Amino acid sequence: MKAIAVIPKKKGSLQLIDQDKPSIDQIQDHRGVLIRILQCGVDGTDKEIVEANYGNPPLGDDHLILGHECLGIVEKVGQNVTELNPGDFVVPTVRRAYGNTIYDKIGTSDVTTADTYYEHGINLLHGFLTEYFVDQPENLVRIPSNLKEVAVLLEPTSIVEKGIMHAVEIQRRLKIWRPKRAAVLGVGPIGILAALMLRLRGIETYVISRTQAPYLNSDLVEEIEAKYISTKDISFKDAADKFGPFDIIFEATGFSPLVFEAMELLGKNGVLILSSITANDRKVEIPADKINLDFVLGNKVCFGTVNANREHFEQGVRDLSQALLQYPNWLSKLLTHPIKGLDQYKGLVKTLCGPSKGVIKLFCEISPFPEQ
C-alpha cells in the first residue's frame, strides 16, 4: 500500500513509498481493528516535519509516514472486539501510552511526564497518510455517520477541547467562574475552531489576527457571531482596552512573542491558554516586572496544552454535532483544500509549505466514502 513519508530532519526527503498492508493479527488478544483511511488532514506540525525541523522515525526505520489527523472506516475486527463493527467511522487519537508514568497507565498519555512520547505521524510512530492501519479499539473514537463529512476536523478540535476543558478545570480555583469575554489569537484551523467552541459556550469572542477583513477566515468568524479584529486596524492592546477585559485568551498563532503581549493584556482572574508549537529559536525582550506584577496582583493563570486524550475527542464529537445544528454548513466551509489521492503528494506538500492565503484545512482524500 502507498504512504507519504519523509526522512525526519532531512530536507527534501519527502517521497511516496510502498508499505505492507497491516493485519489485525499484529494486535494482541484478537483486539485488532483494521481501518481503511478515508481522509487525512495536515497542519503546521506536518509542515515543521516536512521542513526538517521536527519529528522522529519509529525505532529501526529511517523514514516516518506523515499524518495525524484522520478519518477512517472499520473494515475488519478481531474476535474479541465488541466496541466497533465493520462499517463504523472512526478517528484515532494521536499519542500512545507506552510510557510508564501514572498518566500513561490511566489513559491520559496527553499529559505524560515520560521523556519519550509516541505520536502517530510525528514522533516514533508512523502516521495516517497511507491506505490502512490497525489499532486497538481503546485508541479509536467512533463517529456518528452524520458527522463523517467533517470528522477529519476532529483531531484539531480535540486540541481545542483539551485547552478549554483544562482552563475550566484550573478556574475551579475561583469557586465561581463565569467567563464573559474571550480573545482568540490566530485564525488558522485551531484559532477558528477555538472561536467556535467558545461561541457554542455562549462566550463573547474576539478573534485577533493580522490580515484585514473581509476574507474567508474573517467571514467564517463573523458567521458564528464572533468579532474579527485585524491588528492592521487596531492594535491588540487597543482591542483589549476597547473590548476587554478578556477572561480567556486562546493563543494559536505560532508566533511566540505574542504570548507575552497576551500575558500583559489578560484580564484579572483570567486564563491564558498556549497551544502553539514553536520549534524555532526566537528571542524577544519583555517587560518582565510588569507582566509578573500584573499576574500576581490579578491572580492570573497561563498554561500550555498539547495533544488530547479520548475524553477530549469525545467532547469534540458532541461539540461538532452541536455546531452542525447551530451553524449549518459552517464546518464544511473549513475544508477548503481537498487533494485527491496519495499520488498527489507533491501538490499536498506544495500547498502545505506554500503561501497559506485561502487555505484553512488542507487534507488528502485517500479513499472515497462508501455508497450509502
Euclidean distance between CA atoms 190 and 194, whole angstroms: 6
Exactly one of 40, 94, 187, 229 binds ligand BGC (CB under 6 A); that residue is 94
94 binds, among Zn ion, ligand BGC, none (CB under 5 to 8 A by kind): ligand BGC
Length of the chain: 372
Q: Please, which residues bridge with residue 135 across strands?
A: 33
**Cβ pair 94, 122 in contact under 8 A:** yes
Exactly one of 122, 164, 226, 342 binds ligand BGC (CB under 6 A); that residue is 122
Q: Does residue number 43 form part of the binding site for Zn ion (CB under 5 A)?
A: yes
199, three cell numbers: 461561541
Q: Residues 6 or more apart from 101 whose CB is under 8 A from it?
A: 112, 113, 114
Indicate if the alpha-carbon torsion angle 141, 146, 148, 154 is positive or negative: negative
Q: Residues 6 or more apart from 241 whose CB is under 8 A from it?
A: none
Count interface residues toward Zn ion (CB under 5 A). 2
Q: Does residue number 119 form part of the binding site for ligand BGC (CB under 6 A)?
A: yes
Q: Residues 6 or more apart from 288 whose CB is under 8 A from it?
A: none
Exactly one of 14, 37, 45, 74 binds Zn ion (CB under 5 A); that residue is 45
Q: Does residue number 48 form part of the binding site for Zn ion (CB under 5 A)?
A: no
131 binds, among Zn ion, ligand BGC, none (CB under 5 to 8 A by kind): none
Task: Name the minimum Å distance from CB 125 to Zn ion.
Answer: 14
Q: Does residue number 209 form part of the binding site for Zn ion (CB under 5 A)?
A: no
Rg (C-alpha) for the chain, rounded Å, is 21
Q: Between 157 and 171, whose beta carbon lies closer to ligand BGC?
A: 157
Q: Between 171 and 305, whose beta carbon lies closer to ligand BGC?
A: 305
Euclidean distance between CA atoms 12 and 10, whole angstroms: 7
Q: Between 45 and 276, whose beta carbon lies closer to Zn ion?
A: 45
51, three cell numbers: 521542513
Which of 18, 37, 84 is closest to 369 using CA atoms? 37
119 binds, among ligand BGC, Zn ion, none (CB under 5 to 8 A by kind): ligand BGC
Q: Does residue number 159 form part of the binding site for ligand BGC (CB under 6 A)?
A: yes
Task: Name the minimum Å distance from CB 204 to ligand BGC.
Answer: 27
Contacts (CB under 6 A) with ligand BGC, residues 285-344:
306-307
**Cβ pair 246, 167 in contact under 8 A:** no
Candidates 39-47, 58-66, 288-296, 311-319: pick the segment binding Zn ion (CB under 5 A).
Answer: 39-47
Q: Does residue number 40 form part of the binding site for ligand BGC (CB under 6 A)?
A: no
Binding residues for ligand BGC, rule: CB under 6 A, are: 43, 45, 68, 94-95, 119, 122, 155, 159, 277, 306-307
